[in-house]
Structure 1
Amino acid sequence: MFVFSNIYCLSLLLWLEERYESIYMRHPGFQKGSQPLLALDNPFPMELPENLFGEKWAFVQLPFSAVREEVSSLDERFVFGAGLDLDLLGIEVDDNTLIPGLAVTSSRAKPLAAWMNGLEVCSVEADTGRGGLILSVGISTRYVYATYKNTPTTTSEAEAWEAAKKACGGLHFLAIHEDLDSDDCVGFWLLLNLPPPPI
Protein backbone atom coordinates (compact mmCIF):
# COMPACT_ATOMS: atom_id res chain seq x y z
CA MET A 1 0.00 0.00 0.00
CA PHE A 2 1.29 3.45 -0.95
CA VAL A 3 0.65 6.07 1.75
CA PHE A 4 1.01 9.84 1.92
CA SER A 5 -0.24 12.42 4.35
CA ASN A 6 1.14 15.46 2.51
CA ILE A 7 -1.59 17.06 0.40
CA TYR A 8 0.81 17.80 -2.49
CA CYS A 9 2.00 14.20 -2.63
CA LEU A 10 -1.59 12.98 -2.62
CA SER A 11 -2.51 15.41 -5.40
CA LEU A 12 0.49 14.28 -7.44
CA LEU A 13 -0.42 10.64 -6.95
CA LEU A 14 -4.00 11.22 -8.12
CA TRP A 15 -2.73 13.27 -11.08
CA LEU A 16 -0.40 10.42 -12.10
CA GLU A 17 -3.27 7.95 -11.94
CA GLU A 18 -5.48 10.22 -14.08
CA ARG A 19 -2.64 10.75 -16.56
CA TYR A 20 -2.00 7.00 -16.74
CA GLU A 21 -5.62 6.36 -17.72
CA SER A 22 -6.10 9.32 -20.07
CA ILE A 23 -2.71 9.41 -21.84
CA TYR A 24 -0.39 6.44 -21.23
CA MET A 25 -3.01 3.73 -21.77
CA ARG A 26 -3.89 5.30 -25.15
CA HIS A 27 -0.30 5.44 -26.39
CA PRO A 28 0.41 3.00 -29.29
CA GLY A 29 3.40 1.54 -27.41
CA PHE A 30 1.47 0.93 -24.17
CA GLN A 31 2.04 -2.56 -22.69
CA LYS A 32 -0.50 -3.58 -20.09
CA GLY A 33 0.98 -5.40 -17.10
CA SER A 34 4.52 -4.03 -17.47
CA GLN A 35 6.44 -3.17 -14.30
CA PRO A 36 5.94 0.39 -13.00
CA LEU A 37 8.87 2.80 -13.29
CA LEU A 38 8.28 4.20 -9.81
CA ALA A 39 8.89 1.63 -7.08
CA LEU A 40 9.17 2.37 -3.37
CA ASP A 41 10.26 -0.07 -0.72
CA ASN A 42 7.70 -1.31 1.77
CA PRO A 43 10.18 -1.96 4.59
CA PHE A 44 9.70 -4.48 7.35
CA PRO A 45 8.13 -2.67 10.33
CA MET A 46 10.53 -1.65 13.11
CA GLU A 47 10.01 -1.62 16.85
CA LEU A 48 8.02 1.41 17.98
CA PRO A 49 10.00 4.07 19.88
CA GLU A 50 9.07 4.03 23.57
CA ASN A 51 7.66 7.58 23.54
CA LEU A 52 5.01 6.55 20.96
CA PHE A 53 3.42 3.72 22.95
CA GLY A 54 -0.26 3.95 23.85
CA GLU A 55 -1.70 1.87 26.68
CA LYS A 56 -4.96 0.72 25.08
CA TRP A 57 -6.49 0.85 21.63
CA ALA A 58 -9.73 -0.06 19.86
CA PHE A 59 -11.12 -0.18 16.34
CA VAL A 60 -13.83 2.49 16.07
CA GLN A 61 -16.04 4.17 13.48
CA LEU A 62 -17.44 7.68 13.21
CA PRO A 63 -19.88 9.20 10.70
CA PHE A 64 -18.02 11.39 8.25
CA SER A 65 -19.88 14.44 9.61
CA ALA A 66 -18.26 13.82 13.05
CA VAL A 67 -14.84 13.25 11.44
CA ARG A 68 -15.16 16.53 9.54
CA GLU A 69 -16.13 18.28 12.80
CA GLU A 70 -13.03 16.89 14.57
CA VAL A 71 -10.76 18.07 11.75
CA SER A 72 -12.32 21.55 11.63
CA SER A 73 -11.91 21.98 15.38
CA LEU A 74 -8.19 21.10 15.45
CA ASP A 75 -7.14 24.77 15.48
CA GLU A 76 -10.01 26.00 17.64
CA ARG A 77 -9.36 23.54 20.48
CA PHE A 78 -5.54 23.50 20.08
CA VAL A 79 -5.59 19.75 19.48
CA PHE A 80 -2.65 17.98 17.85
CA GLY A 81 -3.29 16.38 14.48
CA ALA A 82 -3.89 17.00 10.79
CA GLY A 83 -6.64 16.83 8.21
CA LEU A 84 -6.78 16.42 4.45
CA ASP A 85 -8.27 18.74 1.86
CA LEU A 86 -10.71 16.22 0.39
CA ASP A 87 -12.14 18.82 -2.02
CA LEU A 88 -8.70 19.42 -3.51
CA LEU A 89 -8.19 15.67 -3.75
CA GLY A 90 -11.58 15.22 -5.42
CA ILE A 91 -12.82 12.83 -2.74
CA GLU A 92 -16.53 12.99 -1.96
CA VAL A 93 -17.94 11.27 1.12
CA ASP A 94 -21.53 11.27 2.33
CA ASP A 95 -22.03 12.71 5.84
CA ASN A 96 -23.53 9.44 7.10
CA THR A 97 -20.71 7.21 5.80
CA LEU A 98 -18.98 5.46 8.69
CA ILE A 99 -15.24 6.14 8.60
CA PRO A 100 -13.06 3.52 10.34
CA GLY A 101 -10.50 4.67 12.84
CA LEU A 102 -8.20 3.66 15.63
CA ALA A 103 -8.70 5.11 19.11
CA VAL A 104 -5.60 5.03 21.31
CA THR A 105 -5.51 5.92 25.00
CA SER A 106 -2.70 6.81 27.33
CA SER A 107 -2.31 8.28 30.80
CA ARG A 108 0.15 10.64 29.08
CA ALA A 109 -2.14 11.33 26.11
CA LYS A 110 -1.02 14.92 25.49
CA PRO A 111 2.73 14.14 25.36
CA LEU A 112 1.94 11.11 23.16
CA ALA A 113 -0.10 13.28 20.78
CA ALA A 114 2.70 15.87 20.72
CA TRP A 115 5.26 13.22 19.78
CA MET A 116 2.94 11.84 17.09
CA ASN A 117 2.45 15.36 15.76
CA GLY A 118 6.19 15.56 15.10
CA LEU A 119 5.91 12.67 12.66
CA GLU A 120 4.34 12.69 9.22
CA VAL A 121 1.65 10.16 10.12
CA CYS A 122 0.42 8.48 6.94
CA SER A 123 -1.68 5.44 7.77
CA VAL A 124 -2.50 2.61 10.11
CA GLU A 125 -3.07 -0.87 8.74
CA ALA A 126 -4.00 -4.17 10.34
CA ASP A 127 -1.53 -6.99 9.70
CA THR A 128 -3.79 -9.99 10.26
CA GLY A 129 -0.99 -12.45 9.50
CA ARG A 130 1.19 -11.25 12.37
CA GLY A 131 -1.60 -10.02 14.65
CA GLY A 132 -0.58 -6.39 14.78
CA LEU A 133 -1.16 -2.82 13.68
CA ILE A 134 1.39 -1.11 11.45
CA LEU A 135 1.90 2.65 11.67
CA SER A 136 3.37 4.22 8.52
CA VAL A 137 5.12 7.57 8.84
CA GLY A 138 6.91 9.57 6.18
CA ILE A 139 7.47 7.93 2.84
CA SER A 140 9.07 4.65 3.93
CA THR A 141 9.10 4.20 7.72
CA ARG A 142 6.86 1.61 9.33
CA TYR A 143 6.46 0.69 13.00
CA VAL A 144 4.72 -2.13 14.83
CA TYR A 145 2.23 0.15 16.56
CA ALA A 146 0.40 -2.52 18.57
CA THR A 147 -0.04 -6.26 18.71
CA TYR A 148 -2.93 -8.54 19.55
CA LYS A 149 -3.46 -12.26 20.06
CA ASN A 150 -4.52 -13.87 16.79
CA THR A 151 -7.91 -15.51 17.35
CA PRO A 152 -10.85 -15.95 14.96
CA THR A 153 -12.58 -12.99 16.66
CA THR A 154 -9.62 -10.57 16.52
CA THR A 155 -8.79 -11.59 12.95
CA SER A 156 -12.40 -11.04 11.91
CA GLU A 157 -12.43 -7.58 13.56
CA ALA A 158 -9.16 -6.58 11.85
CA GLU A 159 -10.40 -7.82 8.46
CA ALA A 160 -13.70 -5.95 8.88
CA TRP A 161 -11.79 -2.77 9.78
CA GLU A 162 -9.61 -3.09 6.67
CA ALA A 163 -12.71 -3.77 4.53
CA ALA A 164 -14.35 -0.62 5.94
CA LYS A 165 -11.23 1.36 5.02
CA LYS A 166 -11.34 0.00 1.49
CA ALA A 167 -15.05 0.86 1.18
CA CYS A 168 -14.18 4.49 2.09
CA GLY A 169 -11.47 4.70 -0.56
CA GLY A 170 -8.72 4.30 2.04
CA LEU A 171 -9.96 7.07 4.32
CA HIS A 172 -9.45 6.41 8.05
CA PHE A 173 -8.36 8.23 11.20
CA LEU A 174 -6.20 7.97 14.29
CA ALA A 175 -7.50 9.51 17.53
CA ILE A 176 -5.64 9.82 20.82
CA HIS A 177 -7.70 10.06 24.02
CA GLU A 178 -7.04 10.08 27.73
CA ASP A 179 -9.77 7.45 28.12
CA LEU A 180 -11.59 5.16 25.65
CA ASP A 181 -14.94 6.32 27.04
CA SER A 182 -14.08 9.98 26.44
CA ASP A 183 -15.43 11.84 23.40
CA ASP A 184 -12.66 14.45 23.60
CA CYS A 185 -9.49 13.87 21.57
CA VAL A 186 -6.09 15.33 22.35
CA GLY A 187 -4.86 14.23 18.91
CA PHE A 188 -6.72 13.51 15.65
CA TRP A 189 -5.28 12.64 12.24
CA LEU A 190 -7.32 12.06 9.09
CA LEU A 191 -5.40 9.54 6.98
CA LEU A 192 -5.64 8.05 3.50
CA ASN A 193 -4.38 4.84 1.92
CA LEU A 194 -4.01 4.83 -1.85
CA PRO A 195 -2.93 2.04 -4.19
CA PRO A 196 0.55 2.42 -5.73
CA PRO A 197 0.75 4.59 -8.83
CA PRO A 198 0.51 2.48 -12.00
CA ILE A 199 3.40 4.20 -13.79
Structure 2
Amino acid sequence: MRKTWELDFYSKPILDENGKKRWEVLICESPSDTRSTEELFRFSKYCPSTQVNSIWLGNAIQEAIASAPKPPTQIRFFRRQMNNMITKACKDLGLLPKPSRRTITLQRWLEQRMESVYPNEPGYQGAKPTASVRFEVADPQPLPDALRGEKWAFVTLEADAFAEMQEWEIDFCEAFPILGEQSLVPDLTPETRIPGLIIFSARAKALAGWMSGLELAAVQVKLDSPAQLILETGFSDRWILANITDPQTKQEAEGFQTAKEQASGVHFIAIQSDPNSESFAGFWLLPELNLG
Protein backbone atom coordinates (compact mmCIF):
# COMPACT_ATOMS: atom_id res chain seq x y z
CA MET A 1 0.00 0.00 0.00
CA ARG A 2 1.37 3.40 -0.96
CA LYS A 3 2.29 5.85 1.77
CA THR A 4 1.44 9.37 0.64
CA TRP A 5 2.80 12.64 1.98
CA GLU A 6 1.69 16.20 1.25
CA LEU A 7 4.30 18.92 0.75
CA ASP A 8 4.43 22.69 0.46
CA PHE A 9 7.61 24.67 -0.21
CA TYR A 10 7.07 28.39 -0.52
CA SER A 11 7.83 31.82 0.91
CA LYS A 12 6.07 32.98 4.05
CA PRO A 13 4.85 36.47 5.06
CA ILE A 14 7.96 36.87 7.20
CA LEU A 15 11.09 38.91 6.44
CA ASP A 16 14.52 37.78 7.65
CA GLU A 17 17.27 40.06 8.98
CA ASN A 18 18.23 40.97 5.39
CA GLY A 19 14.70 41.98 4.42
CA LYS A 20 14.19 38.83 2.34
CA LYS A 21 11.17 36.56 2.64
CA ARG A 22 11.68 33.43 4.67
CA TRP A 23 10.86 30.14 2.98
CA GLU A 24 9.51 27.04 4.67
CA VAL A 25 8.92 23.42 3.79
CA LEU A 26 5.89 21.74 5.31
CA ILE A 27 5.47 17.96 5.03
CA CYS A 28 2.64 15.90 6.44
CA GLU A 29 1.08 12.49 6.02
CA SER A 30 -1.98 12.19 3.81
CA PRO A 31 -4.83 10.19 5.42
CA SER A 32 -6.11 7.14 3.57
CA ASP A 33 -9.31 6.38 5.47
CA THR A 34 -11.78 7.75 8.00
CA ARG A 35 -10.07 6.39 11.09
CA SER A 36 -8.89 9.06 13.51
CA THR A 37 -7.07 7.13 16.20
CA GLU A 38 -3.61 8.63 15.74
CA GLU A 39 -1.88 11.84 14.73
CA LEU A 40 -0.63 12.15 11.17
CA PHE A 41 3.12 12.71 10.73
CA ARG A 42 4.26 16.34 10.32
CA PHE A 43 7.59 18.04 9.61
CA SER A 44 8.46 21.71 9.14
CA LYS A 45 11.69 23.60 8.53
CA TYR A 46 12.57 27.14 7.51
CA CYS A 47 14.84 27.60 4.51
CA PRO A 48 17.23 30.56 4.01
CA SER A 49 16.22 32.64 0.99
CA THR A 50 19.70 32.05 -0.48
CA GLN A 51 19.23 28.25 -0.54
CA VAL A 52 15.86 27.87 -2.25
CA ASN A 53 16.60 25.01 -4.65
CA SER A 54 15.86 21.33 -5.23
CA ILE A 55 19.04 20.26 -3.39
CA TRP A 56 18.01 21.96 -0.13
CA LEU A 57 14.48 20.63 -0.54
CA GLY A 58 15.71 17.10 -1.19
CA ASN A 59 17.85 17.23 1.96
CA ALA A 60 14.83 18.43 3.96
CA ILE A 61 12.70 15.56 2.62
CA GLN A 62 15.45 13.13 3.60
CA GLU A 63 15.51 14.66 7.09
CA ALA A 64 11.73 14.19 7.33
CA ILE A 65 12.00 10.57 6.18
CA ALA A 66 14.63 9.89 8.86
CA SER A 67 12.24 11.12 11.58
CA ALA A 68 9.06 9.48 10.24
CA PRO A 69 7.61 6.10 11.32
CA LYS A 70 7.36 5.05 7.65
CA PRO A 71 8.84 6.61 4.49
CA PRO A 72 6.53 7.78 1.69
CA THR A 73 6.33 6.39 -1.82
CA GLN A 74 4.67 9.46 -3.31
CA ILE A 75 4.33 13.15 -2.45
CA ARG A 76 1.40 15.41 -3.28
CA PHE A 77 1.81 19.15 -3.81
CA PHE A 78 -0.58 21.87 -4.93
CA ARG A 79 1.58 24.86 -5.94
CA ARG A 80 1.95 24.74 -9.73
CA GLN A 81 4.74 27.37 -9.73
CA MET A 82 6.89 25.04 -7.64
CA ASN A 83 6.28 22.07 -9.94
CA ASN A 84 9.79 21.81 -11.42
CA MET A 85 11.66 22.18 -8.12
CA ILE A 86 9.45 19.78 -6.16
CA THR A 87 9.35 17.25 -8.99
CA LYS A 88 13.16 17.18 -9.28
CA ALA A 89 13.68 16.85 -5.53
CA CYS A 90 11.22 13.95 -5.36
CA LYS A 91 12.56 12.11 -8.39
CA ASP A 92 16.15 12.44 -7.15
CA LEU A 93 15.01 10.54 -4.04
CA GLY A 94 13.06 7.93 -5.97
CA LEU A 95 9.70 9.35 -4.86
CA LEU A 96 6.70 9.85 -7.13
CA PRO A 97 5.65 13.54 -7.35
CA LYS A 98 1.88 14.04 -7.62
CA PRO A 99 0.42 17.45 -8.59
CA SER A 100 -2.79 17.45 -6.61
CA ARG A 101 -5.60 19.45 -5.08
CA ARG A 102 -6.23 16.62 -2.61
CA THR A 103 -4.04 18.08 0.14
CA ILE A 104 -6.56 18.51 2.95
CA THR A 105 -4.18 17.79 5.84
CA LEU A 106 -1.71 20.32 4.48
CA GLN A 107 -4.40 22.97 3.94
CA ARG A 108 -5.70 22.68 7.49
CA TRP A 109 -2.14 22.90 8.81
CA LEU A 110 -1.39 25.97 6.69
CA GLU A 111 -4.55 27.66 7.97
CA GLN A 112 -3.51 26.96 11.55
CA ARG A 113 0.02 28.31 11.00
CA MET A 114 -1.29 31.44 9.25
CA GLU A 115 -3.47 32.14 12.27
CA SER A 116 -1.26 31.23 15.22
CA VAL A 117 2.38 30.68 14.15
CA TYR A 118 3.52 33.20 11.53
CA PRO A 119 1.99 36.28 13.21
CA ASN A 120 4.22 35.57 16.23
CA GLU A 121 7.43 35.38 14.20
CA PRO A 122 9.81 38.40 14.05
CA GLY A 123 9.45 40.14 10.71
CA TYR A 124 5.85 39.12 10.11
CA GLN A 125 4.33 41.21 7.28
CA GLY A 126 0.75 39.92 7.08
CA ALA A 127 -0.55 37.23 4.77
CA LYS A 128 -1.56 38.08 1.20
CA PRO A 129 -3.07 35.95 -1.58
CA THR A 130 -0.54 34.38 -3.93
CA ALA A 131 -0.83 33.63 -7.63
CA SER A 132 1.01 30.33 -7.16
CA VAL A 133 -2.24 28.48 -6.51
CA ARG A 134 -4.56 30.07 -9.05
CA PHE A 135 -5.73 27.31 -11.34
CA GLU A 136 -6.60 27.74 -14.97
CA VAL A 137 -10.03 26.38 -15.89
CA ALA A 138 -9.39 23.83 -18.62
CA ASP A 139 -12.07 22.64 -21.02
CA PRO A 140 -13.47 19.32 -19.79
CA GLN A 141 -12.43 16.26 -21.79
CA PRO A 142 -14.65 13.26 -22.50
CA LEU A 143 -13.89 10.03 -20.69
CA PRO A 144 -12.54 7.20 -22.85
CA ASP A 145 -15.47 5.26 -24.32
CA ALA A 146 -14.57 2.10 -22.40
CA LEU A 147 -14.72 3.98 -19.09
CA ARG A 148 -18.09 5.65 -19.39
CA GLY A 149 -20.77 4.59 -16.94
CA GLU A 150 -24.12 3.35 -18.18
CA LYS A 151 -26.08 4.92 -15.32
CA TRP A 152 -25.46 7.23 -12.39
CA ALA A 153 -27.37 8.58 -9.40
CA PHE A 154 -27.12 11.27 -6.75
CA VAL A 155 -27.25 9.97 -3.17
CA THR A 156 -26.51 11.18 0.36
CA LEU A 157 -25.13 9.54 3.49
CA GLU A 158 -25.01 10.87 7.01
CA ALA A 159 -21.47 11.70 8.12
CA ASP A 160 -21.78 9.16 10.91
CA ALA A 161 -22.15 6.35 8.34
CA PHE A 162 -18.50 6.74 7.33
CA ALA A 163 -17.43 5.44 10.76
CA GLU A 164 -18.14 1.97 9.36
CA MET A 165 -16.34 2.53 6.07
CA GLN A 166 -13.54 0.10 6.96
CA GLU A 167 -16.13 -2.69 6.92
CA TRP A 168 -17.36 -1.93 3.40
CA GLU A 169 -16.18 -4.10 0.53
CA ILE A 170 -14.23 -1.69 -1.71
CA ASP A 171 -11.56 -2.43 -4.33
CA PHE A 172 -10.13 1.11 -4.70
CA CYS A 173 -10.65 3.60 -1.92
CA GLU A 174 -9.39 6.76 -0.24
CA ALA A 175 -10.95 8.86 2.50
CA PHE A 176 -10.08 11.10 5.44
CA PRO A 177 -11.38 11.68 8.99
CA ILE A 178 -14.51 13.85 9.08
CA LEU A 179 -15.62 13.22 12.68
CA GLY A 180 -13.85 12.81 16.00
CA GLU A 181 -10.75 14.38 17.51
CA GLN A 182 -8.68 14.07 14.32
CA SER A 183 -11.41 15.36 12.01
CA LEU A 184 -10.12 17.48 9.14
CA VAL A 185 -13.56 19.10 8.71
CA PRO A 186 -14.47 20.49 12.15
CA ASP A 187 -17.83 21.98 11.10
CA LEU A 188 -19.45 18.59 10.39
CA THR A 189 -21.78 16.79 12.78
CA PRO A 190 -22.75 13.10 12.74
CA GLU A 191 -26.07 14.09 11.16
CA THR A 192 -24.59 16.19 8.33
CA ARG A 193 -25.72 14.84 4.96
CA ILE A 194 -22.74 14.08 2.72
CA PRO A 195 -23.73 14.19 -0.98
CA GLY A 196 -22.34 11.76 -3.48
CA LEU A 197 -22.43 10.49 -7.02
CA ILE A 198 -22.59 6.77 -7.77
CA ILE A 199 -21.60 5.62 -11.26
CA PHE A 200 -22.84 2.23 -12.45
CA SER A 201 -20.78 0.46 -15.08
CA ALA A 202 -20.37 -3.05 -16.46
CA ARG A 203 -16.65 -2.19 -16.48
CA ALA A 204 -16.74 -0.92 -12.89
CA LYS A 205 -13.34 -2.27 -11.85
CA ALA A 206 -11.62 -0.88 -14.96
CA LEU A 207 -13.20 2.55 -14.37
CA ALA A 208 -12.27 2.47 -10.68
CA GLY A 209 -8.71 1.42 -11.51
CA TRP A 210 -8.37 4.31 -13.95
CA MET A 211 -9.72 6.79 -11.40
CA SER A 212 -7.40 5.46 -8.71
CA GLY A 213 -4.47 6.59 -10.82
CA LEU A 214 -5.74 10.17 -10.87
CA GLU A 215 -5.49 12.80 -8.16
CA LEU A 216 -9.24 13.23 -7.63
CA ALA A 217 -10.14 16.76 -6.54
CA ALA A 218 -13.91 17.29 -6.78
CA VAL A 219 -17.13 16.60 -8.63
CA GLN A 220 -18.58 19.80 -10.05
CA VAL A 221 -21.99 20.52 -11.51
CA LYS A 222 -21.99 22.69 -14.63
CA LEU A 223 -25.53 24.00 -15.11
CA ASP A 224 -25.10 26.32 -18.08
CA SER A 225 -25.57 24.78 -21.53
CA PRO A 226 -24.53 22.05 -22.00
CA ALA A 227 -25.25 21.00 -18.41
CA GLN A 228 -22.73 18.41 -17.26
CA LEU A 229 -21.17 16.61 -14.33
CA ILE A 230 -17.44 17.33 -14.25
CA LEU A 231 -14.68 15.44 -12.45
CA GLU A 232 -11.70 17.63 -11.54
CA THR A 233 -8.27 16.03 -11.09
CA GLY A 234 -4.61 16.99 -10.70
CA PHE A 235 -3.75 20.69 -11.02
CA SER A 236 -6.45 21.59 -13.56
CA ASP A 237 -7.62 18.51 -15.50
CA ARG A 238 -11.37 18.15 -16.00
CA TRP A 239 -13.40 15.19 -17.30
CA ILE A 240 -17.02 14.91 -18.41
CA LEU A 241 -18.67 12.28 -16.25
CA ALA A 242 -22.18 12.70 -17.64
CA ASN A 243 -24.49 15.06 -19.47
CA ILE A 244 -27.52 16.48 -17.65
CA THR A 245 -30.39 16.29 -20.10
CA ASP A 246 -33.68 16.75 -18.23
CA PRO A 247 -35.18 19.20 -15.71
CA GLN A 248 -35.54 16.66 -12.90
CA THR A 249 -31.89 15.65 -13.09
CA LYS A 250 -30.89 19.32 -13.21
CA GLN A 251 -32.86 19.90 -10.02
CA GLU A 252 -31.11 16.94 -8.38
CA ALA A 253 -27.75 18.35 -9.50
CA GLU A 254 -28.59 21.69 -7.87
CA GLY A 255 -29.47 19.80 -4.69
CA PHE A 256 -26.10 18.04 -4.83
CA GLN A 257 -24.32 21.41 -5.02
CA THR A 258 -26.33 22.81 -2.12
CA ALA A 259 -25.66 19.75 0.04
CA LYS A 260 -21.94 19.97 -0.78
CA GLU A 261 -21.85 23.59 0.41
CA GLN A 262 -23.65 22.64 3.62
CA ALA A 263 -21.11 19.85 4.19
CA SER A 264 -18.13 22.26 3.93
CA GLY A 265 -17.26 20.91 0.48
CA VAL A 266 -17.12 17.25 1.51
CA HIS A 267 -18.68 14.83 -0.99
CA PHE A 268 -17.92 11.47 -2.57
CA ILE A 269 -17.82 9.57 -5.82
CA ALA A 270 -18.44 5.82 -5.93
CA ILE A 271 -18.43 3.16 -8.63
CA GLN A 272 -20.55 0.00 -8.66
CA SER A 273 -21.29 -2.66 -11.25
CA ASP A 274 -25.08 -2.18 -10.84
CA PRO A 275 -27.60 -0.65 -8.40
CA ASN A 276 -28.10 -3.99 -6.62
CA SER A 277 -24.43 -4.53 -5.83
CA GLU A 278 -23.43 -4.65 -2.16
CA SER A 279 -19.79 -3.82 -2.90
CA PHE A 280 -17.92 -0.92 -4.49
CA ALA A 281 -15.33 -1.07 -7.24
CA GLY A 282 -14.25 2.38 -6.09
CA PHE A 283 -15.13 4.89 -3.36
CA TRP A 284 -13.45 8.24 -2.77
CA LEU A 285 -14.34 10.81 -0.14
CA LEU A 286 -13.47 14.18 -1.66
CA PRO A 287 -12.63 17.54 -0.06
CA GLU A 288 -13.40 20.57 -2.20
CA LEU A 289 -10.62 22.89 -1.04
CA ASN A 290 -10.23 26.63 -1.45
CA LEU A 291 -6.51 26.61 -2.07
CA GLY A 292 -4.72 29.81 -1.26
Deviation at 1:30, TM superposition (A): 5.2
1:119-177 Cα shifts (integer Å, max 9, x gaps): 222211111113101101222211111111153x3332211110100111110011111
1:42-94 Cα shifts (integer Å, max 9, x gaps): 22211222333111001110112223323x236xx452121124465632332
Deviation at 1:19, TM superposition (A): 4.2
Counterparts of 1:189 and 1:172 in 2: how far apart (Å)? 9
Letter in 2 for 1:113: A
Letter in 1 for 2:105: S
- Answer with 182-191 or 164-173: which moved more: 182-191
How many residues align? The count is 185
Q: Calculate the TM-score normalised by the size of structure 2.
A: 0.56
In structure 1, the partner of 2:147 is 52
In structure 2, the partner of 1:169 is 264
Aligned-residue CA RMSD (Å)? 2.7
In structure 2, the partner of 1:109 is 204
Q: Do the aligned residues in 1 keep the contact of 2:154 with 2:256 (CA within 8 Å)?
A: yes
In structure 1, the partner of 2:131 is 37
In structure 2, the partner of 1:142 is 238
Q: Do the aligned residues in 2 keep the contact of 1:171 with 1:192 (CA within 8 Å)?
A: yes
Percent identity of paired positions between Structure 1 and Structure 2 = 36
Letter in 1 for 2:229: L
Q: Does 1:10 align with 2:104?
A: yes
Q: Does 1:80 align with 2:172?
A: yes
Counterparts of 1:15 and 1:133 in 2: how far apart (Å)? 31
Q: Which has the larger radius of gyration?
A: 2
In structure 2, the partner of 1:192 is 287
In structure 2, the partner of 1:120 is 215
- Residue segments in structure 1 that go unaligned for 5+ positions in a row: none
1:85-119 Cα shifts (integer Å, max 9, x gaps): 44656323322221100011011212222222222
Pick the aligned partner of 1:95 from 190, 211, 214: 190
Q: SS at the partner of 1:65?
A: helix
Q: Calculate the TM-score normalised by the size of structure 1.
A: 0.79
Letter in 1 for 2:106: L
Q: Do the aligned residues in 1 keep the contact of 2:170 with 2:283 (CA within 8 Å)?
A: no
